[in-house]
Amino acid sequence: MDRHDFAYLRDSATLQFLDVSLPETVKLKVSQLLSQHVPMTVCRQEGLDAGQVKLAINCLVEGYKYRVACWVAEYDIEQITRPLSLRALLKADLQIFQREILSDFADKLEQRGCEVYVYGSYAYQALTREAYVRPVSDLDVLFYPQHQNDVPEILQLIQQVQAQSSVQLDGEIKIHPDWHVSFNELITVFPAVKQQVIVKGIQRVDMLRLEQLFEGNFEYAHASIS
């Protein structure tokens, strides 16, 4: 289980909403989405009792977008999967700008064995066919490189697609077994191995130097991405 993974709940699942003031209309919308087998998203797991899992879901109610968090019992989760793949998003019936650019981007990542997934507004719009995406919406992307030595080239590809596409990319790359890092932040500091970046794990957030993330593989950390 990792942050941003999809969690599919059993029909009998009981949700404990974290916001006690949540409007009933929003709770009903969440129930409606779950009845349609729309997954929830795995959040950072902190401050929970044993056997509890914290999840969240995005929903639209009367034109407003809500991010609803709750916890459920582990046994109420039927299946956990990775988020929606970029390839699946591109195949969905959505009005995505620069589809060819993003498709070529997906091809190049697949050739390097890098898994790429989408979460956030674009993912939920593809899953529900509701209008989550706004003109200012970023495309939230999650990268799982096969090897650390692929990271510099993947960061180059991200920069290239950022320059070619009007869709702003945001999100994270997993360059360490325990940590996700914002790829935009990583691009800013790479390859300065003494620089610290914010790292996000399944249970906590921390600050680490690049040399700690690359665990001594300095030949990769020193690679240029310009």
Residue 30 has pLDDT above 90, yes or no: yes
* Mean local confidence (pLDDT), 173-187: 92
Q: What is the pTM of this model?
A: 0.89
The answer on pLDDT for 224 being more than 60 is no
Q: Is the pLDDT of residue 221 over 70?
A: no
Q: In percent, how much of the chain has pLDDT > 90?
A: 70
Is the pLDDT score of 157 beyond 80? Answer: yes
Domain boundaries, the chain: 6-81, 84-221
Confidence check: pLDDT of 93 > 80? no
pLDDT in tens, 55-86: 999 999 998 999 999 999 999 999 999 999 99
Place of tokens 């709770």: 27
Mean pLDDT of the chain, nearest integer: 89
Give me the mean pLDDT over the 199-212 stretch: 90
Q: Tens digit of pLDDT for each residue in 98-136?
A: 788 999 999 999 999 999 999 999 999 999 999 898 888
